[in-house]
Amino acid sequence: MTDLPIAIASDHAGYALKCALVEELERLGAGVLDLGAHGEQSVDYPDFGDAVGAAIGEGRAERAVIVCGTGIGISIAANRNRHVRAALCHDTTSARLARQHNDANVLALGARLVGSEVAMDCLRVFLETPFEGGRHQRRVDKLG
* Domain residue ranges of the chain, discontinuous segments joined by +: 6-143
38 is catalytic: no
Residue 120's contacts (CB-CB under 8 Å, 6 or more residues apart) are 20, 21, 24
Q: What is the pLDDT of residues 52-82, one digit of tens each?
A: 999 999 999 999 999 999 999 999 999 999 9
CA 84 – CA 81 distance, rounded (Å)? 6
CA 91 – CA 65 distance, rounded (Å)? 14
> DSSP secondary structure string, 78-124?
HTTSTT--EEE-SSHHHHHHHHHHH---EEEEETTTS-HHHHHHHHH
% of the chain surpassing 90 pLDDT:
92
Give me the pLDDT at residue 73, please.
98
Give me the pLDDT at residue 144, please.
77
One of 3.40.50.300, 3.40.50.10680, 3.40.1400.10, 3.20.20.140 is the CATH number of 6-143, namely 3.40.1400.10
Looking at 83, 90, 101, 136, which residue is catalytic?
Answer: 101
The whole-model pTM stands at 0.96
122 is catalytic: no
Residue of 144 and 132 predicted with greater confidence: 132
Looking at 68, 89, 122, 136, which residue is catalytic?
Answer: 68
Residue 140's contacts (CB-CB under 8 Å, 6 or more residues apart) are 85, 102, 103, 131
